[in-house]
Amino acid sequence: MPDLPAPDDSLRAALHGVRGLLLDLDGVLVLKGAAVPGAPEALAALERHGVPYLVVTNTSLVSRATLARWGRSVGFATPPDRFQSALTASAELVRREFGERPVYVITSDDARAEFEGLGVLDGAGADAALADGSDVAAVVLGDSPDQLTRENLNRAFRLVLRGAALIGMHRNPWWLTPEGPTLDAGTFLVGLEWATKRKARTVGKPDPAFFRVAIERMASEAASRGEARLRRRDLAMVGDDAFNDIGGGRRAGLRTVFVRSGKHGDAELAQAARGARGYQPDAVAPSIAEVVAALVG
């Protein structure tokens, strides 16, 4: 197994006292369908040193089980329960707020597994509800190249006009795939907002509630191990997105580390720092490998 890089003193100082990590997936652990160099070794080092972590991702295309299975194919050993995704958070919101009321969910067949036991409508069910005027509590928009069709978006549009709540699993405009920069579900969500003149409720990063769930889970796990109370500043959010990861993490009270292995760079960092409410990460690193080396080295 390759060694981690030599620890960087300035990065080590920025991470002093950190007791756990929240890790973005795309751009931090994987990029364009492959593992970021050194990322599997970095997570293995966290495991060896007993450093808790949670993968917090706006991924809404596949279930946690599929994420874990795919991760194993590229060198990771992260189990399904160490993922918190915009998809799982959306399913929990539907379960908590709408119960068994019908909801129209645009997502992949695999992602629907997270909504098991809930009143999820398919296209035919949505058409029937539109035809007979029956209740549909919400439209939930996730990511799926096969399902983000004009036909399905028209169904969503009509249901929202009729009173259904509009919920976006996230607002990401684009992401990096093996084919290059690719439109993400947030682009279609904004289109529905514009067409319906309704503001969507979003669930994933940078929503404070998404971070709160992760923080509370990490704190509960620390307490179950008999450790001292975990404070927010004891956690660091590691991400490649200057707005969703770094901005959202800072607003949640976490330390933040920006890594240069993903989609954003100096231009986005400079944009985030502008204005009276501008912000900067606590540290910048080339990749997750350097972050882990500074934390455990």
For the cut 90, the answer to whether the pLDDT of residue 274 exceeds it is: yes
Rounded CA gap, 184 and 195, in Å? 18
* Percentage, residues of the chain above pLDDT 70: 99
Rounded CA gap, 112 and 96, in Å? 17
Mean pLDDT of the chain: 95
Cα of 236 vs its chain's centroid, Å: 15
End-to-end alpha carbon distance in the chain: 16
Helix crossing, 123-132 with 150-161: angle to 10°? 40
For the cut 90, the answer to whether the pLDDT of residue 289 exceeds it is: yes
Q: Read off the pLDDT band of 1 (50, 70, 90).
A: very low
In the chain, the domains with their CATH numbers are 9-58+206-256+280-296 (3.40.50.1000), 99-202 (3.40.50.1000)
pLDDT score recorded for residue 2: 60
Q: Compute the C-alpha angle 202/52/38, nearest 5°.
A: 90
pTM: 0.87
For the cut 90, the answer to whether the pLDDT of residue 176 exceeds it is: no
Q: Are 49 and 41 in contact (CB under 8 A)?
A: no
Q: Residue 228, Cβ neighbours under 10 Å: how many?
A: 9
